[in-house]
Amino acid sequence: MIDWTAWVLEVLALSFVFLVGLGVLIAAVLFVIDRTQTEDAIRRNYPVIGRFRHLFTELGEFFRQYFFAMDREELPFNRAQRDWIKRAGEGMPNTVAFGSTRDIRVAGTPLFVNAAFPPLDQQAAKTEPMVIGAGTPNPYVARSIFNLSGMSYGAISKPAVQALSRGCAEAGIWMNTGEGGLSEYHLEGGCDLVYQIGTAKFGVRDIEGNLSEEKLREMAAIPQVKMFELKLAQGAKPGKGGILPAAKVTPEIAKIRGLEPGQAGISPNRHAEASNVDELLDLIGRLREVSGKPVGIKTVGGAEESFAELFERIAARGADCAPDFITLDGGEGGTGAAPMPLIDLVGMSIREALPMVSGLRDAAGLKDRIRLVASGKLVNPGDIAWAMSAGADFVVSARGFMFALGCIQALKCNKNTCPTGITTHDKRFQKGLVAEEKWARVAAYATGIVKEVEVIAHSVGVTEPRQMRRRHVRIVQPDGTSIPMHILHPRGPAEARMTAE
């Protein structure tokens, strides 16, 4: 009779010996490889063991995010910001208990000034539509203060575009195509579209890469395309054009953009037709005349003089030459791929740029002519309410909607290995993003943002978010006290005089 206990123990012992032997053999092979290679000094001096340094370096990012970072510590977005978006996208209540985890003593923190006698609940604040490009043949009536910023098909995947398109339509917000041209996936959801024209003019260029008026008319003839945005710069990489890695240029994307499959999509650092303010205004006028639709620009806050010159030239030439809107991005803006020196060091923060530019616009008497759209790491209700108070007419976000789609901030956007399927064209990863399910989260997030901004507006005593003013916000200073924003950033000559008095 077989002694099964002894047999099992013998098999386990033999397996252990085999595994130990295999481990020793693998270690010996790695030892020889590491000792003889010349590229890595650590592995050469510490064979086998030195490999753990690279392993721990890779895993460190993961451990910091999930185990060690506090709710408000992580960058570029912390857990508290991401969790709010997740709850809003899932339609869950966003109430919290006990108290805030935010340290309101940190310099730069905005504190909204609650009204002594706020409107009654039945007088709650409600967002009103706003017209952009009233003087064009086809003005656009934008229904929401919060909309989707530019993310091109190529930088993000097919199911991501599909989910965003349908979600934007459901929420009644616009979707910016990004500079990669217009795909059928942008159109299938039925949302309003802002066609972004980057420096490479993908989708509206001729063989030589110049603007094709014929193709521009074709795009303008599409009813869903409501406006055109001429991209001058974006916050993550001012002074450098878009970068689409070759691994992301599939045959379909290459056809849309006018590239060869596998050819990296590198955009020039600026539009060849616009080397100064007057040439820029001429180009805007040309686009508006050909398309018959509102035309704006996207740029980044830098020197105050450049914006002052823009408004001065508009005043000299007449308001008709002005862009219908300006999308102002901040240096904290995101992207799929950018050089680290640019993403870290170039471009003014939206927190500083928006008050500056809105003040210059208003002082030039162009508040009703040029709509101001704020962008740059504005993803939660407080961010949008601050922007409204600082002078924005609209706010757009890209990464906020990525979180609504399921982004986990894996920081793999430039590697075509995004684990959530949002920024990759690898079918293996894309299957995790089910557009038929995720679109509802996109819509719920956008709706939740607007609702909470209206709550803040009601609290400060106004009946529409755009009625919030700088006096409704105090900015915390380094010593822990706060100062009204209209004192820190006067909105125009009149407000400056009031502040002085």
Give residue limits of the domains in the chain. Answer: 20-68, 123-462
Tell me which residue of 105, 102, 104 sits closest to 478, measured CA to CA. 105
Distance CA(225)–CA(489), nearest Å, equals 36
What share of the chain has pLDDT > 90, as a percent?
A: 47
Q: Are 89 and 450 a contacting pair, CB within 8 Å? A: no
Instruction: Tell me the per-residue pLDDT of 20-63, one tens digit each, with 9 for 90 and over.
Output: 888 888 888 878 887 888 877 777 777 888 777 776 666 666 66
Residue 216 has pLDDT above 50, yes or no: yes
Average pLDDT, the chain: 86
pLDDT in the model for residue 498? 42
Which pTM does this prediction carry? 0.85
Residue whose tokens read 């006018």: 258
Tell me which residue of 348, 334, 323 sits closest to 229, measured CA to CA. 323
Instruction: Tell me the per-residue pLDDT of 396-450, one tens digit each, with 9 for 90 and over.
Output: 999 889 888 888 787 777 777 888 888 888 788 888 888 888 899 999 999 999 9
pLDDT in the model for residue 56? 67
Question: pLDDT: is 294 or 201 the higher one?
Answer: 294
pLDDT in the model for residue 12? 82
Distance CA(298)–CA(375), nearest Å, equals 10
From first CA to last CA, the distance across the chain in angstroms is 105
What share of the chain has pLDDT > 70, as a percent?
A: 91
pLDDT in the model for residue 386? 96
Mark out the alpha helices in 301-434 (DSSP H runs). 304-317, 340-345, 350-363, 381-390, 399-405, 427-430
Overall fold of domain 123-462: TIM Barrel (3.20.20)
Question: pLDDT: is 142 or 43 the higher one?
Answer: 142
- Cβ contacts of residue 388 below 8 Å, gap of 6+? 145, 395, 453, 457, 465, 466, 468
Peptide bond into 76 cis (omega under 30): yes
Q: Are 492 and 362 a contacting pair, CB within 8 Å? A: yes
CA atoms within 13 A on the CB side of 359: 22
pLDDT in the model for residue 490? 84
pLDDT in the model for residue 458? 93
**Pairing status of strand 265-266 against strand 295-300:** unpaired
What torsion do the CA atoms of 57, 58, 64, 65 make, to the nearest 10 degrees?
A: 160
Distance CA(112)–CA(459), nearest Å, equals 9
pLDDT tier for residue 476 given thresholds of 50, 70 and 90: very high
Question: pLDDT: is 254 or 170 the higher one?
Answer: 170
Q: Which two tokens stand for residue 347?
A: 């471009």
Instruction: Tell me the per-residue pLDDT of 442-473, one tens digit each, with 9 for 90 and over.
Output: 999 999 999 999 999 999 999 999 999 999 99
Distance CA(104)–CA(475), nearest Å, equals 10
Residue 157 has pLDDT above 60, yes or no: yes
Instruction: Tell me the per-residue pLDDT of 344-378, one tens digit each, with 9 for 90 and over.
Output: 677 789 999 999 999 999 999 999 999 999 998 89
Write out the E strands in 7-150.
110-112, 130-132, 140-142, 146-148
